[in-house]
Structure 1
């Protein structure tokens, strides 16, 4: 019996080998390209900052001084500039409310600063912005005269709201408030720009202010001395304290 073996063709034909080589070459090329991209990105991240562009609507911040600090701190740094660190640095500067920082290729640091808008002095040492948030900045750098508010921690927003309500009522009658204080027990005391102090207590604050406005013409005509304080913590009526009369100097005998 004769066994005939069929000849099988080897799979390693020139076309197959060429395809494998082409695949390996393509894979190597892709890996090399990806490596180069990673290296390029790292180089860009580690590239030195050559200039800083500072933007913002500044009222109290001196842009030249702030720009100089940024230039000194970050320009020419060959290490990776961390945007978060730049933001943290800026948030520590006076008058800075919000910051947006980004790197612009090839070597520019773009900084956009939003400044605090102060509306009142708080407890003589701090400032309040429009949202009733406390911040620290040199009070002597204020561009305008601001009212003084005072109170315990956590009462900032209440004090700001109350001052706005009282001020609106007073302005209708040609008065102006300059100071407002709230105690730990939430009792209010108001001082007008003419120096009169109003004790308002804890309840019916605006009604008591209105009572003062209604009775002021009669109070001011009652005595010639200046009014120092008006106590409105009564259900009806009020108590008035007048300044002591000025002491006249004695005339010397000739």
Structure 2
């Protein structure tokens, strides 16, 4: 018998032995394949064939306690506080805050909104969350927050611009170019802005502003825009004259008045109102003094006509 033949025969014999062994114990329990490796490892550990490295238990205990502590801080909401305490003590305490772009919003309001104090750590600041907090301020329309390590923070704001004052009842509020309310009017800083009065005046102020942009001289003289029944506007000028605009085609009405006023300087005359609500005419209302003078002039004219008829 050759060696190769003997090897093949030995393998066949071993295979036959394993097969016959299973056949010899038909009721024996066989572990699933996925559990065989863990069971063999446990058996080797129990028999002492595998040795445990020194300090492995200590390391496992430290990892377990650290994981438990982190889970407890996260569950209790103390992660930020602990992070600030640890990082502030090693040189990351916030000391320099640079603020730019704020005109209406004070630096104190910004610091209070961000919740910054002497124990704040730069590491613990969430720039995205800080931006969201700044966006809640009434004047802020956009914000940018950047951490500057190790101890700085840069805040840049974009604020809304007030273009008018909206009077609703007894309350006065500042509104932007879209008619959105910014904040209540306080003090006299914005007192020179145009006044919008009445229901719906805030929502439609942007439409009126768009029409008046084509007539800058008239727009500069408007001191108040009064919304009538939430349908149309009356413009109150700086000299007390009221211009009544139509409900529709406001731009065309203003063009007609501009052409009519060219060379006449109607608004500087002794009138109290200009009515543009009719498409085919412009009506002027005289002041009481001008009306009396006009009445007297007509009476004098009538007397002269009668006298001339008598003498003829």
Asked whether the two chains share a fold, i.e. TM above 0.5, the reply is yes
Distance between the aligned counterparts of 2:230 and 2:165, measured in 1? Answer: 21
Q: Within 1, Cα distance between the matches of 2:164 and 2:272?
A: 24
Query: Quick check: 1:131 aligned with 2:164?
Result: no
TM-score when normalising by structure 2: 0.54
- How many residues align? The count is 228
Greater shift after overlay, 131-140 or 227-236? 131-140
- Higher relative contact order structure (alpha carbons within 8 Å, sequence separation ≥ 6): 1
TM-score by length of 1: 0.64
> Mind listing any 5+ residue stretches in structure 2 that lack a counterpart?
1-42, 293-312
**Partners of 2:178 and 2:205 within 8 A in 1:** no
What is the distance in 2 between the residues matched to 1:88 and 1:26?
42
1:148 is aligned to: 195
Compute the displacement of 1:30 (Å): 2.6
Cα offset, 1:89, TM superposition: 9.4
Name the residue aligned to 1:181.
226
Question: Aligned partners of 2:268 and 2:101: how far apart in 1?
Answer: 50
Give the direction of change, closer, same or farther, for the CA distance of 1:217–1:99 in structure 2 (3 Å limit).
Answer: closer
- Describe the shift of the 1:46–1:151 C-alpha distance in structure 2 as closer, same or farther (beyond 3 A): farther
Shift, 1:26, TM fit: 4.3
Do structure 1's residue 241 and structure 2's residue 285 form an aligned pair? yes
**Which structure: greater helix fraction?**
2
Shift of 1:199: 0.6
Tell me by how many angstroms 1:150 deviates. 2.6
Structure 1 residues 177-221: Cα deviation after superposition (integer angstroms, max 9, x where no partner) = 523222224122123445432111212211111111111247657
| 1:202-241 pair list within 5 angstroms | 202-217=247-262, 220=265, 225-241=269-285
- Which structure 1 segments of 5+ residues have no match? 1-9, 248-254
Q: 1:25: how far off?
A: 4.6
1:18 to 52, 65, 76: 52
**Deviation of 1:61 (Å):** 3.3
State the Cα deviation string for residues 110-161 of structure 1 (Å, max 9, x = none): 75544331111112711112332102244535368322223314x5242222
Residue of 25, 28, 33 corresponding to 2:61: 28
Residue 229 of structure 1 deviates from its aligned partner by 0.7
- Say which SS state the counterpart of residue 201 (structure 1) adopts: coil
1:159 to 205, 208, 212: 205
3-state SS of the aligned residue for 1:136?
A: strand
Greater Rg over alpha carbons, structure: 2
Q: In structure 2, what is the Cα distance between the partners aligned to 1:68 and 1:32?
A: 37
Deviation digits for residues 58-111 of structure 1, max 9, x if unmatched? Answer: 223343x5468679x752579x9999899779946x645556779988887875
Q: Is the 8 A contact 1:54 1:67 kept in 2?
A: no
Are the aligned partners of 1:55 and 1:112 in contact in 2 as well (CA < 8 Å)?
yes
Give the RMSD, CA atoms, in angstroms.
4.6
